[in-house]
Structure 1
Amino acid sequence: MKKIAKFLILVLIVCTFGACSKNSTAVQSANNADNNKKITVTDGMKRKIELSKPAEKVLTNYPIAVQILCALDKQDNILGADGNVIKNPLTFSPKAGSSKTAASNDINVEQVIAAKPDLVIIYKKNKEIVPKLEKSNIKVFVVSAENLDELKSTVKDLGILTGKEKKSEEFMEYYTKKLNFIDTKLKVVDQKNRPKVYMAGGGLYLAPGKNMFQNSLIELAGGTNVTGSLSSNKWSQVSAEQLISWNPDVIIITQYSGVKPQDVLNNSALKDISAVKNKKVYLMPSKISSWDMPCPQTILGIMWLSTKTNPELFKDIDITKEVDDFYQQFYGTTYTKLGGTLD
């Protein structure tokens, strides 16, 4: 499986909404009443977004937004993609695909306008195009999902905007249940006795500070981030000497770090670090999508990391089954069938 990288996608998702044959008259009346109601949410820039009915045609250049939409509806009806696309099984259905490529990662405003979408979803770093799209009466939802609460809020809002509230509620219930389960298990571990965790980002010596999503992920999984005193909201450069002085019990290597666990274990300069001596250096899943990012699979990253920080507490957890069950519930297939591994 190819790892998700930076890429541009303009996805047209068509969702069909219909009444059941049983009690069709009553259902149709209810649907008509619902259609007269305004749909209102607040996006990641605190902007009020209002639709007259659930969005049926959605365009986005943000891969995580596509993953959320797929999780909400188990999408297999993506009709096409425009851009330099990496065909990831959780981004596009088997029916989808495009041979077109884009010259850059910029959003083509003209193409978006021509597609006449009901809703455009963008990442906040592209916020400068909002006025251009709104000038053409196109509704734009800006995503800011830099922590777990923002991620959950985004899922809820996209569920409302696309008429998939029940599915978004199912997603939230899953998250709440699993987080409560982990938290209950961790109550027996005193905060000062929690294992010290070091996470490597874009390189072995790039680490997350207290304002980064990865910091909260480590804490939710029952660890203490050794770089949590760093105040930057970006990956911070640290030295080998600092890493040695922190002496982490566990070292986590991200998929995009360019480093393998064996590289750390074979590094003679780091041989006295507790994690190295005890061979507790792990590669964070997954090759399909990075579980340390604010995406639907984040809960899997928390569960997986819990089994590494406190293995005795979570020894009864079959993490592969947990992961497969999640993918089956929200993507209609299992992680194993997609070729995902937990190495």
Structure 2
Amino acid sequence: MTSFPEMSRRSLIKGILVGGSAAVLVGCGDTGTTSGSSPSASGEAGGGSGPITIKDQRGKTLTFERPVTSVVTIPMPAASLLVAVDESAAHLSAMHSASWTAMRTGIMGTMFPNALKVPHDIAAQDFTPNVESIRALNPDVVIQWSDAQLTAPLEDAGLKVVGFNNTGSEQDVEAWTALFAQMLGKPQRAAQLQARSNDELHQVQSLAKGRTAGPRVLYFNRFVGGLKVAAAGTYNDFYIRLVGAQNAAVGPHGAGAAGLVGVDVEQVLGWDPEIILLGNFDAALPKDVYANSVWQSVSAVRNRRVYKVPLGGYRWDPPGQESPLMWHWLSDVSYPQPHSDLRAKMVDYYRLLYSYEPTAAQMDGILWRDANASSADYAQFLTT
């Protein structure tokens, strides 16, 4: 099994917490209930009054005179991650429409209903910002992907911009969490979340030890209106390998490119995936695959191993604060158990992230109980 890129979480956390206004060094309910007082960037308890200095993923240094209270998020994972780090939606001022859709469809809108009232018309689908709409909100900071063509219009308008990278690695989640925690004046929150994620990572890695020639898994980022799969260098490829499985789109006869790649039916038939994962960026469900004559020869269809990826506080398929739950879910999908302990983990993790305990019915919704019920071994997830 290929190990995921090494970058010590302890090193990252140390970089956050060292010194007075520590820079974040990176390598690659509506108010919620807080976990008690957190040190500010200046190291003082309770939110702090001193300036906060950070370094974003472009390497640009930014200084805030106080913890931020108004944040516009354009990258899709950023809105829900901000809420999780802050344990509140109070400081989310606007978000990408796709982030809002995930909140409305998933459980985030139930946990933090005021988040659904936040403006979500501030960027195009390709993340091009609506600068005038954002300026009208007068935010403390705008979170944007690091591409210069996306950040420059905002900075030219006098807005303060923090650049996020998306390298398809777990380190991105760590860096985003650290940046948010630092800007909010809650650096210990990043340490708390990253330490827990690290524990879950070690658990999954331990489960994967000794697994060889795992099932061929194919993740569809898009299935309706054109096929797009996750090849090398994606976060989906990371967690497929993490659990000891194989990415059907990678290898000598794979997609032939890195990233999210458009493919045709013949390529998929040639790969013959043993497990198909349908992402949350379109409406495709397992029944759509099972009913289509085109796919009947594929092992995943013949063996009823097509699954809709869960959707919780955010989509589980891209990187985000609930990614450790995705790792456990995929591990049990790939290597079925008589009974999965995922539901217990979900309850515990939601308490940590959101100070919220999901009901059994809410967990059914997150796990797409009805959509996945006819797929093999899914009963392992459906009881506590």
TM-score class, shorter: 0.7 to 0.9
Q: State the match for 2:340 in structure 1.
A: 317
Q: 1:200 to 1:30 in 2, by over 3 A?
A: closer
Measured after TM superposition, the shift of residue 208 of structure 1 is 1.4
Change (3 A) 1:83 1:281: closer
Structure 1's 181 and 79: CA in aligned 2 closer, same or farther, altered over 3 A? closer
Q: Does the alignment pair 1:39 with 2:56?
A: no
Which of these residues, 145, 161, 174, is aligned with residue 183 of structure 2? 161
CA contact under 8 A between 2:69 and 2:91: conserved in structure 1?
no
Which amino acid letter does the alignment assign opposite residue 39 of structure 1? T
Q: Percent identity?
A: 21
Q: Which amino acid aligns with 2:161?
A: V
Q: Which amino acid aligns with 1:207?
A: V
User: What is the CA–CA distance in structure 1 between the aligned matches of 2:294 and 2:47, rounded to whole Å?
Assistant: 68
Once the two structures are TM-superposed, the CA of residue 140 in structure 1 deviates from its matched residue by: 1.2
Which amino acid letter does the alignment assign opposite residue 72 of structure 1?
V
Offset of residue 280 of structure 1: 1.4
Matched position secondary structure for 2:108: coil
The equivalent residue for 2:4 is: none
Question: Equivalent of 1:140, from 158, 161, 164?
Answer: 161
Counterparts of 1:227 and 1:270, CA distance in 2: 16
Q: Which residue in 1 is equivalent to 2:248?
A: 226
> What one-letter code is carried by the residue in structure 1 that aligns with 2:63?
E
> Partner residue of 1:54?
67
Match status 1:240 vs 2:265: yes
1:131: how far off?
Answer: 4.0
| Alpha-carbon separation, structure 1, partners of 2:305 and 2:246 | 15
Structure 2 portions without partners, runs of 5+: 1-29, 369-384
Q: Deviations over 1:224-252 (max 9, x none)?
A: 00101334344323333332332222121
Q: Label 1:266 to 1:207 Cα distance change in 2 as closer, same or farther (>3 A).
A: same
Any conservation in 1 of the 2:108–2:312 contact (CA below 8 Å)? no
CA deviations over 1:260-279 (Å, ceiling 9, x no partner): 21232233443333222221
**Structure 1 position 93 matched with structure 2 position 116:** no
- Higher mean alpha-carbon deviation, 68-77 vs 229-238, is at 229-238
- 1:306-343 per-residue CA deviation (whole Å, 9 max, x = no partner) reads 1111114xx45321222232222211223446573312
Q: Partners of 2:90 and 2:300 in 1: how far apart?
A: 46
Q: Which residue of 1 aligns with 2:16?
A: none
Change (3 A) 1:57 1:327: same
Alpha carbons of structure 1 residues 335 and 217: separation in structure 2 relative to 1, 3 Å: farther
Mapped contact 2:317–2:326 kept (Cα < 8 A)? yes
Equivalent residue, structure 1, for 2:371: none
- In the aligned structure 2, how far is the partner of 1:275 from the partner of 1:240? 14
Shift of the alpha carbon at 1:38? 4.7
Change in CA separation of 1:77 and 1:274 when aligned onto 2, cut-off 3 Å: same
Q: Is the 8 A contact 1:183 1:220 kept in 2?
A: yes
Preserved contact between residue 222 and residue 310 of structure 1 (Cα < 8 Å): no
Q: How does 1:196-275 map to 2 (within 5 A)?
A: 196-203=216-223, 205-229=227-251, 230-275=255-300
Question: What one-letter code is carried by the residue in structure 1 that aligns with 2:219?
Answer: M
Equivalence map 1:164-175=2 (5 Å):
164-175=186-197
1:120 is aligned with what amino acid?
A: V
Would the alpha carbon gap of residues 253 and 175 (structure 1) be closer, same or farther in structure 2, given more than 3 Å must change?
same
**Alignment of 1:77 onto 2:97:** no
Going from structure 1 to structure 2, the CA distance change for 1:83 and 1:307 (only over 3 Å counts) comes to: closer
Q: What TM-score do you get using the length of structure 2 for normalisation? A: 0.70
In 2 relative to 1, CA 61–338 (structure 1 residues): closer, same or farther, beyond 3 Å?
farther
Q: Tell me how far 1:172 sits from its aligned partner.
A: 0.4
Q: 1:331 is matched with which residue? A: 354
Counterpart for residue 323 of structure 2: 298
Once residues 119 and 240 of structure 2 are traced to their aligned partners in structure 1, the CA distance between those partners, rounded to angstroms, is 39
Structure 2 SS opposite 1:120: strand
1:217 and 1:284 mapped to 2: Cα distance?
13
Q: The residue matched to 1:286 in structure 2 has which SS? A: coil
- Residues 185-229 of structure 1: CA distance to partner in whole angstroms, max 9, x if unpaired? 110212xx2111112221174211102221112112321001013
Cα distance, 1:103–1:149 mapped onto 2, change above 3 Å: closer
Checking the alignment, whether the CA contact within 8 Å between 1:197 and 1:252 is kept in structure 2 is yes
Change (3 A) 1:118 1:183: same
- C-alpha distance in 2 between matches for 1:79 and 1:243: 40
Letter aligned with residue 354 of structure 2: Y
Distance 2:299 2:113 in 1: 45
1: distance between equivalents of 2:367 and 2:188? 30
8 Å CA contact 2:70, 2:140 repeated in 1 = yes
Whole-angstrom distance in 2 between the partners of 1:178 and 1:29: 28
DSSP-derived class of the 1:201 partner? strand
Amino acid aligned to 1:74: E
1:179, distance to aligned residue in structure 2 (A): 0.8
TM-score (norm 1): 0.78
Structure 1 runs, 4 residues or longer, greater than 6 Å off: none
1:208·1:227 contact (CA, 8 Å) conserved in 2?
A: yes
Listed one character per residue, the Cα deviations across residues 124-176 of structure 1 (whole Å, up to 9, x for unaligned) are 35x43634544565421011233211121111122112112111111101110
Question: Highest Rg: 1 or 2?
Answer: 1
